[in-house]
């Protein structure tokens, strides 16, 4: 159980960051849940900026799961090469699309239980797609920015993403499960850098153990 002071501190942090980043949302460009799913798979070991350079051309060619299934893996690899780990990502995408067609009629499922049955999809990817595409709150997306800020702000001492998510689920109001990752990711990119955070420009430094 979180102490009242810690709960209040978390609420103040979320409130401040909502004012600082009112338009916070996933940076991955997409037009539908399927595109977001593929883009999120591509974002592993890559940057959203790099993925966004690749997906317009990719989705111009491959519009549906069936399109990916019908393509050769080499054909997919050529279009996603610059995102890194392109061979394994191309295989995951094809395998994922096979399951989408076989189990879900080509539609992206809307529950965590079903999402994580898709090849290449773990809790992080599932949380992104469920939250951003469907507004479904089943968990909290934890990426490297979320891991860093969770530790610096003193809300988790864990180093494993799944364990950090479990710590956060106990203390973050469910209404903020979707927006919190977008807020912390935005803050991590703009201010709370990995090597040298810009604490002087931080709007939540008064609530941060790392700064004090």
The residues assigned a catalytic role are: 124, 143
Q: At what angle do helices 179-190 and 123-134 cross, to 10 degrees?
A: 110
Q: How far apart are CA 55 and CA 126, in angstroms?
A: 19
Q: How far apart are CA 58 and CA 60, in angstroms?
A: 5
Could you write out the three-class secondary structure of 13-62? HHHHHHHHCCCCCCCCCCCCHHHHHHHHHHCCCCCHHHHHHHHHHHHHHC
């Amino acid at each position: 159980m979180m102490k009242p002071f810690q709960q209040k501190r978390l609420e103040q942090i979320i409130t401040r960051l909502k004012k600082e980043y009112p338009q916070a949302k996933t940076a991955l460009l997409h037009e539908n849940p399927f595109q977001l799913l593929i883009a999120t798979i591509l974002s592993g070991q890559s940057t959203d900026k790099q993925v966004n350079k690749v997906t317009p051309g990719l989705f111009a060619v491959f519009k549906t799961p069936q399109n990916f299934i019908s393509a050769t893996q080499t054909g997919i690899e050529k279009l996603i090469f610059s995102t890194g780990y392109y061979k394994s990502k191309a295989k995951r995408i094809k395998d994922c699309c096979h399951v989408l067609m076989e189990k879900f009629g080509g539609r992206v499922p809307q529950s965590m239980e079903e999402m994580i049955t898709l090849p290449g999809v773990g809790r992080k990817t599932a949380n992104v797609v469920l939250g951003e595409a469907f507004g479904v709150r089943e968990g909290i997306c934890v990426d490297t920015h979320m891991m860093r800020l969770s530790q610096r702000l003193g809300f988790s001492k864990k180093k494993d993403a799944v364990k950090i998510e479990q710590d956060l689920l106990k203390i973050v109001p469910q209404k903020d499960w979707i927006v919190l990752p977008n807020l912390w990711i935005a803050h991590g990119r703009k201010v709370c850098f990995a090597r040298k955070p810009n604490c002087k420009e931080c709007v939540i430094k008064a609530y941060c153990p790392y700064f004090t």
